[in-house]
């Protein structure tokens, strides 16, 4: 609020100060909206977590399915650890930045970690410094924890999609599966044990036909449970991620213009360094959402080919009709949509990067024409 008041009521003359205040307003607004949406949607998130837990207990009970879930669980844990380390490093640099900046300032000038509209006399400066350090650390941690919660939920949905793909591809191929007894299947570069499947003949008897139909019904119900989980997660990220992406894009555009002007000023790279450092973190957060959204799309697009890979030629008419319905249902891949227009995918992230590069190139060409 103080940064916004400073920009509106007492706009600084120096562009570097305007950049600091503007970045603070954009970033803190995004964090506030993210936390507020997370709190308001806690009932939906709780329902999603319970449904995922029930799905994991009901479907995909083989050892191979368990290994797939463990693999995605480890990925989520590693992502949290990496983001936590990056957050601590950023916080250390952010809190210590006023001490470093004081070397090039006039006597009596003492900037706090975040720009704020207030006198900098003691002991007010020390109090504001401490409060900003604590509140800033809490805001960064809250933002990081909410992001990793979304990442983990997305990975859990992706894991269920991969398990469904594996189960569909093995459906009706008991003879082939039995030949793999004692072998291991590779999952993303790691070996995953494949459980022994009881040797059966081709599904030509009534009992085998009934067994295949029961397995197909189980897979269809698993797919329906995944769709419910996806819809709940979509409703959770619709508002919060939409605001985050919008503020991130505005922040990147604002930062690029500020960096361009600062590089032409007397301060040069030194005055623009703080703004430059903030751009990768904003793009990284946007990229993470798009990458995990693409993982869901990839696994969802595999469902049709996995369904056609099962042993359907030797199955009866009921199985083939159920398979056809499943294939038609999976014709549209699951993909997260924010703002009813933007899909979370690699293509979206590449478009954002391309627009950023285009903006930088336009500014570069404009500067070249002036010279």
Please give, one letter per residue, the 3-state secondary structure of the chain: CHHHHHHHHCCCCCHHHHHHHHHHHHHHHHHHHHHHHHHHCHHHHHHHHHHHHHHHHHCCCCHHHHHHHHHHHHHHHHHHHHHHHHHHHHHHHHHHHHHHHHHHCCCCCCCCCCCCCCCCCCCHHHHHHHHHHHHHHHHHHHHHHHHHHHHHHHHHHHHHHHHHHHHHHHCCCHHHHHHCCCCEEEECCEEEECCCCCCCCCCCCHHHHHHHHHHHHHHHHHHHHHHHHHHHHHHHHHHHHHHHHHHHHHHHHHHHHHHHHHHHCCCCHHHHHHHHHHHHHHHHHHHHHHHHHHHHHHHHHHHHHHHHCCCHHHCCHHHHHHHHHHHHHCCCCCCCEECCCEECCHHHHHHHHHHHHHHHHHHHHHHHHHC
Q: 206-264 and 15-40 are packed helices; what angle lies between their axes, rounded to 10 degrees?
A: 160
pLDDT digits (tens, 9 = 90+) for 208-218: 778 888 888 89
Tell me if 2 sits within 8 A of 118, measured CB to CB.
yes
The pLDDT of 366-371, averaged and rounded, is: 59
Model pLDDT, residue 189: 47
When pLDDT is cut at 50, 70 and 90, the band that residue 260 belongs to is: confident
pLDDT digits (tens, 9 = 90+) for 61-72: 889 999 999 999
Lowest mean pLDDT among 45-49, 51-55, 260-264, 303-307: 260-264
More confident residue, 65 or 103: 65
Q: How far apart are CA 245 and CA 285, in angstroms?
A: 9
Lowest mean pLDDT among 36-40, 238-242, 320-324: 238-242
When pLDDT is cut at 50, 70 and 90, the band that residue 198 belongs to is: very low
pLDDT at 161 > cutoff 60: yes
Tell me if 31 sits within 8 A of 139, measured CB to CB.
yes
pLDDT digits (tens, 9 = 90+) for 13-38: 666 666 667 777 777 777 888 888 88
Using a 10 angstrom Cβ sphere, with 0-12 exposed, 13-18 middle and 19 or more buried, the burial of residue 156 is buried
Q: What percent of the chain has pLDDT over 90?
A: 24
pLDDT at 147 > cutoff 70: yes
Global pTM? 0.79
pLDDT at 240 > cutoff 60: yes
When pLDDT is cut at 50, 70 and 90, the band that residue 152 belongs to is: very high
Peptide bond into 281 cis (omega under 30): no
pLDDT at 345 > cutoff 80: yes
Domain layout of the chain by residue ranges: 2-370
Model pLDDT, residue 187: 47
Lowest mean pLDDT among 54-68, 157-171, 225-239, 254-268: 254-268
More confident residue, 195 or 342: 342
Lowest mean pLDDT among 49-53, 118-122, 244-248, 344-348: 118-122
Of 20-29, 75-84, 195-204, 261-270, the range with the highest mean pLDDT is 75-84
pLDDT at 84 > cutoff 80: yes
Model pLDDT, residue 369: 58
When pLDDT is cut at 50, 70 and 90, the band that residue 75 belongs to is: very high
């Amino acid at each position: 609020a103080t940064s916004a008041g400073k920009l509106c009521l007492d706009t600084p003359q120096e562009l570097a100060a305007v950049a600091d205040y503007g970045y603070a307003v954009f970033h803190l607004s995004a964090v506030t909206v993210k936390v507020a949406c997370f709190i308001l949607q806690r009932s939906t998130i709780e329902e999603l977590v319970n449904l995922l837990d029930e799905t994991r207990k009901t479907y995909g009970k083989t050892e191979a399915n368990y290994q797939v879930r463990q693999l995605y669980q480890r990925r989520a844990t590693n992502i949290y650890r990496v983001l936590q380390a990056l957050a601590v490093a950023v916080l250390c640099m952010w809190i210590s930045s006023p001490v470093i900046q004081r070397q090039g300032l006039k006597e009596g000038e003492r900037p706090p970690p975040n720009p704020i509209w207030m006198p900098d006399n003691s002991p007010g400066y020390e109090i504001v410094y401490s409060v900003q350090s604590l509140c800033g650390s809490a805001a960064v941690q809250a933002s990081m924890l909410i992001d990793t919660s979304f990442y983990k939920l997305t990975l859990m949905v992706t894991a269920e999609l991969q398990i469904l793909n594996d189960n569909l591809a093995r459906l009706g191929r008991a003879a082939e599966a039995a030949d793999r007894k004692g072998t291991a299947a590779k999952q993303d570069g790691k070996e995953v044990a494949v459980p022994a499947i009881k040797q059966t003949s081709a599904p030509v008897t009534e009992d085998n036909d009934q067994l295949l139909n029961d397995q197909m019904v189980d897979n269809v119900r698993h797919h329906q449970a995944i769709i419910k989980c996806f819809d709940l997660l979509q409703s959770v990220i619709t508002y919060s991620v939409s605001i985050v992406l919008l503020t991130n894009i505005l922040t990147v555009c604002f930062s690029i213009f500020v960096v361009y002007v600062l590089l032409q000023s007397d301060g040069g790279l030194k005055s623009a360094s703080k703004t430059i450092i903030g751009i990768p973190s904003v793009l990284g957060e946007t990229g993470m959402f798009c990458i995990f959204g693409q993982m869901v799309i990839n696994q969802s697009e595999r469902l049709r080919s996995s369904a056609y890979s099962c042993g359907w030629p030797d199955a009866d008419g009921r199985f083939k009709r159920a398979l056809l319905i499943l294939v038609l249902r999976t014709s549209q891949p699951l993909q997260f949509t924010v703002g009813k227009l933007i899909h979370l995918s690699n293509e979206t992230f590449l478009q954002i990067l391309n627009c950023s590069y285009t903006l930088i190139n336009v500014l570069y060409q404009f500067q070249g024409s002036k010279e």
